[in-house]
Every structure is written in C-alpha cells, then in structure tokens.
C-alpha cells in the first residue's frame, strides 16, 4: 500500500521531455528528501536521483529532480529508447517510521 502517488504511465517520442509527478504528505515528502529509482525490465531498481535533485555518478544529466511542498517531480529530457522503464519516487515517512515508495510510473518511448 503505497503512500506516494504517481501516474501509472507516461510516454513520449525520442528526444522529447517527459515529466513524472509524485504526490505525498507532510510526514514524508513535506519533511524529508525525495529519491527516484529506475527499474529496467527484468532488472533490480537503480538509484537515479537522491536528495531531491542530486544525480549519482554515472547518471546522465538528462535526468533531473525537483521538490516543492509535498510534491516532487522527475524530468527526463532527450528521451531515448533505453529510458523505457518503471520509475519510483521514495521518501522516509516520519509517521510510519519507514521508507515509502510511490506507486510507480511506466515510461514508454513511442
């Protein structure tokens, strides 16, 4: 039972920009950093963005994250076929005292 809400799907053509939203509450996104994970088909998740907007080494700058209030977003610019994957937002929840994930968004490159 996810407490962070994401749209189930998003799509775009190669080269386009796609944005994924993540909606939470004051106990999670509103008071803690947001992180994003990419899960390619058949693979384990991989850290894409941490601390709202920081990219780990090796992640292209086509991926960017932002946060405002109790919502966050992930933007993918210059969309590529290799970006087809499921994307999850996540944050620590102070009320649940646990890490909560978003519902996940499947990105399709048309």
Partner 1 sequence: EVQLLESGGGLVQPGGSLRLSCAASGFVFSAYAMTWVRQAPGKGLEWVSGLSGSGERTYYGDSVKGRLTVSRDNSKNTLYLQMNSLRDEDTAVYYCAKERDDSGGYYIDFWGQGTLVTVSS
45 near partner 1 (CB under 8 A): yes
Interface with partner 1 by CB under 8 A: which range of 16-24, 43-51, 68-76, 77-85?
Answer: 43-51
Lookup: tokens for 80: 């590529």
Residues 53 and 64: beta-carbon distance below 8 Å: yes
Interface with partner 1 by CB under 8 A: which range of 12-20, 42-50, 58-66, 73-81?
Answer: 42-50
Question: What is the distance between the alpha carbons of residues 7 and 45, in angstroms, rounded to a whole number?
Answer: 18
Closest distance of CB 70 from partner 1, Å: 15
Residues 104 and 86: beta-carbon distance below 8 Å: yes
Of residues 59-78, those binding partner 1 (CB under 8 A): none
Instruction: Figure out which of the listed residues 22, 27, 102, 107 binds partner 1, where binding follows CB under 8 A.
Output: 102
Of 47, 27, 29, 35, nearest in space to 97 by CA: 27
Q: How many CB atoms lie within 10 A of CB 45?
A: 16
Interface with partner 1 by CB under 8 A: which range of 9-17, 18-26, 71-79, 94-102?
Answer: 94-102
Residues 4 and 87: beta-carbon distance below 8 Å: no
Binding site for partner 1 (CB under 8 A): 1-2, 32-33, 35, 37, 39, 44-47, 50-51, 54, 56, 88, 90, 92, 96-104
């Amino acid at each position: 039972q996810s407490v962070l809400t994401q749209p189930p799907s998003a799509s775009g053509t190669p080269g386009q920009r796609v944005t994924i939203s993540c909606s939470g509450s004051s106990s999670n996104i509103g008071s803690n950093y947001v992180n994003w994970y990419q899960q390619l088909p058949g693979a384990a998740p991989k850290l894409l963005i941490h601390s709202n907007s920081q990219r780990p080494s090796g992640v292209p700058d086509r991926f960017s994250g932002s946060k405002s209030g109790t919502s966050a977003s992930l933007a993918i610019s210059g969309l590529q076929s290799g970006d087809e994957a499921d994307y999850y937002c996540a944050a620590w929840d102070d009320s649940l005292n646990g890490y909560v994930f978003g519902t996940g968004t499947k990105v399709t490159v048309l």
